[in-house]
Structure 1
Amino acid sequence: MSKVLIISDSHGLTKELEIIRERHVNEVDLMIHCGDSQLMPTDPWISGYLTVMGNCDFGAEYPLETTAEVAGRKFFITHGHRYSVKSTLMNLKYKAEELNADIVCFGHSHVLGAEVVAGTLFINPGSICMPRERFEKTYVILDLQSDKINMSVYEHSGRELTNLAREFIL
């Protein structure tokens, strides 16, 4: 059993990233930041997160996208602004197929969401700074099990939003 923390769109927040990292560092195998941290890779607050470049990350030396593998599942990580994620997941779906990704992590829209499209799980953890379509400032933890994935949603304060938990069979 492995766990992955996914966060995005922190837009300059520092203390919050550090608190969330310290809260979960001993229970997760990977921490992903889907961009728009507005921090430099050398900033201590973003250390420990696998981070990609967002449209507001000027001058930072992050990759535009990356992949990672945890518990035999391939993750594709991007901010999403180059894939028009505010209007469609189709472009991300094609990229996921090209990479043979099981899970796609993205941000940009600040809208919390999770859905399976053609056997691939698409996760947007929302924003811990400026959420849209809901009040809670959120991040996600995926519990990767051999036959399913359990998603837990947390407020930046650490409170679990149990009504938003979902189980996905991939």
Structure 2
Amino acid sequence: MKILIVSDTHRKDVNLKEILERSGRLDMLIHLGDAEGSEQEIASWVNEGCDLEFVLGNNDFFSNLDREKDIMIGRYRVLLTHGHYYSVSLGPERLIKEARAGGFDIVMYGHTHRPFYEVDKKDGDKDLIVLNPGSLSYPRQDGHRPSYMLMDIDRDGEAHFSLNYLER
């Protein structure tokens, strides 16, 4: 299973369209907010059979998107959120606490425009995968390279993640 994870495209969709053309067939596209009304256009670019998951970002003003979603990807229970309601600009700690309290295996967020990947380990609890794909349109990390993540579920049901950058 191949899943593309993006966030914070802010209607500047040329990079996303390029990634979709390069990525080949996808099983799912996850957009973690601030698509700013491009949802229908993005949906027209993906292959048939690709599941689409969008959540509301702080700049999705006139949208009916869900604030967050609780979905299953293979055997993993996943929380999708933009993150601004969890103050992720100050760090992911509050979001991690909420995801753990909710029993999630993976939490995905955006908002910061900075890629992040961590396996949060806590004694006595299961590991929690925490990730942010960064932004394809307005990256803010050192080097300011547009970023996205790919998630692959292998034949044994194990999730693997790769952080990728759009090279110019």
Is 1:30 the equivalent of 2:28? Answer: yes
Residue 152 in structure 1 maps to residue 162 in structure 2: yes
Report the TM-score, using the length of structure 1 for normalisation. Answer: 0.80
CA contact (8 A) 1:40 1:60 kept: no
TM-superposed deviation, 1:148: 4.9
Distance in 1, matches of 2:91 and 2:14, equals 33
1:7-156 equivalence runs, <5 A: 7-24=6-23, 26=25, 28-39=26-37, 41=39, 43-46=40-43, 49-118=52-121, 119-134=127-142, 135-145=144-154, 146=156, 148-156=158-166
Amino-acid identity (%): 32
Q: How many residues align?
A: 155
Q: Which runs of 5+ in 1 are unaligned?
A: 160-170
Question: Structure 1 counterpart of 2:34, which letter?
Answer: D
* 2-structure distance, mates of 1:29, 1:104: 19
1:55-111 deviations in whole A, cap 9, x for unaligned? 011101110000221121111100000001111222211221233111111010111
CA distance in 2 between partners of 1:23 and 1:40 (Å) = 20
Amino acid at match of 1:36: D
Question: 1:136-170, CA deviations, whole angstroms, 9 ceiling, x for partnerless residues?
Answer: 1000002234475432222345x8xxxxxxxxxxx
Q: Who is 2:49 aligned against?
A: none
Letter paired with 2:22: R
CA positional deviation for 1:121: 0.6
1:3 match: 2
Which residues of structure 2 form unaligned runs of 5+?
47-51, 122-126
> For the residues of structure 2 that align with 1:15 and 1:37, how far apart are their CA atoms?
12
Give yes or no for contact 2:11–2:38 (8 Å, CA) kept in 1: no
Shift of 1:25: 5.1
Q: Which moved more, 1:12-21 or 1:131-140?
A: 12-21
CA distance in 1, matches of 2:7, 2:34: 7
With normalisation by structure 2, the TM-score equals 0.81
